[in-house]
Amino acid sequence: MPSRALAVYDGSGIDGDLYSRVNGWAQAAPHWLDELVRVWSAFGLGLFAVFMLLAWWRARGADSAVMARVLASPVIVVIAYGVNSVLKGAVEELRPCAQIPGSVSLETCPGTGDWSFPSNHSVIAFAAAASLWFVDRRLGWVAGLFAALMAASRVWVGVHYPHDVAVGALVGLLAAVVLAPLAGRCGPLVDRMRAGALRPLVGPGDRPTAGHGRSAYRVQRH
């Protein structure tokens, strides 16, 4: 084993029993349920892109700080993914479907080099959901629910341990908690964009009501 890597190679010693229990549920589940979870796990990340587009569309009439956080949300996801990739390369944990005898994965089990810890899907989903929470609480909670379903699906299909998705969620959340408030300070940049050629993309903006904390898109019309 390379000396540069950390000690977590066989994750079964952490929560392998829980993984095996969930894997057993998946093997005993109806085919339609497994297929539904498999499809969601494979393609569900696209829904978070839809959420970001919805947030952008609605923020065109909102405060400049709100639009700044919306525009920063995909950047935050990319940064969180980059941090996660560094962690994957440092830890080099084998996938549970390749490590635990008798386990079955509903999708092709990734080979050596495509490491398990932390889960990229969980990082992306939770970074997106948490970023959107700083834009609109309701949309953030909805996205957070789907992020949890995404994380759970990665264990259900058999390609991640529970701790993989838990730490992945934590990485995504931390990235958003640190970066989204900083992005909100870029409102003056959005103001300049709204005064120039990018106005059709970022909108004219408006002045938010005093109750904007409940919904970042409620604006005062003059």
CB-based contacts of 149: which residues, under 8 Å, 6+ apart?
A: 40, 44
Q: What is the pLDDT of residue 18?
A: 95
Q: How far apart are CA 171 and CA 78, in angstroms?
A: 12
Q: How far apart are CA 141 and CA 124, in angstroms?
A: 15
Answer positive or negative: Cα dihedral of 131, 148, 43, 173.
Answer: positive
Burial class of 142 by CB neighbour count within 10 A (0 to 12, 13 to 18, 19+): middle
Q: What is the pLDDT of residue 68?
A: 83
Q: How far apart are CA 38 and CA 32, in angstroms?
A: 10
Q: What are 208's strand-pairing partners?
A: 219
Count the Cβ atoms, other than its own, within 10 Å of residue 3.
4
Residues 93-123: tens digit of each pLDDT: 999 998 898 899 999 999 888 899 999 999 9
Residues 11-65: tens digit of each pLDDT: 788 889 999 999 999 999 999 999 999 999 999 999 999 999 999 888 877 777 8
Please report, rounded to a whole number, the percentage of residues in the chain having pLDDT higher than 90.
58
CATH 1.10.606.20 for domain 12-199, yes or no, is yes
Residues 151-187: tens digit of each pLDDT: 999 999 999 999 999 999 999 999 999 999 998 887 7
Domains in the chain: boundaries: 12-199
Q: What is the pLDDT of residue 195?
A: 76
Residues 67-101: tens digit of each pLDDT: 888 889 999 999 999 999 999 988 889 999 988 98
Q: How far apart are CA 87 and CA 172, in angstroms?
A: 13
Cβ atoms of 172 and 68 closer than 8 Å: no
Burial class of 74 by CB neighbour count within 10 A (0 to 12, 13 to 18, 19+): middle
211 pLDDT band, cuts 50/70/90, is: very low
Q: How far apart are CA 176 and CA 71, in angstroms?
A: 13
Sequence letter at residue 83: V
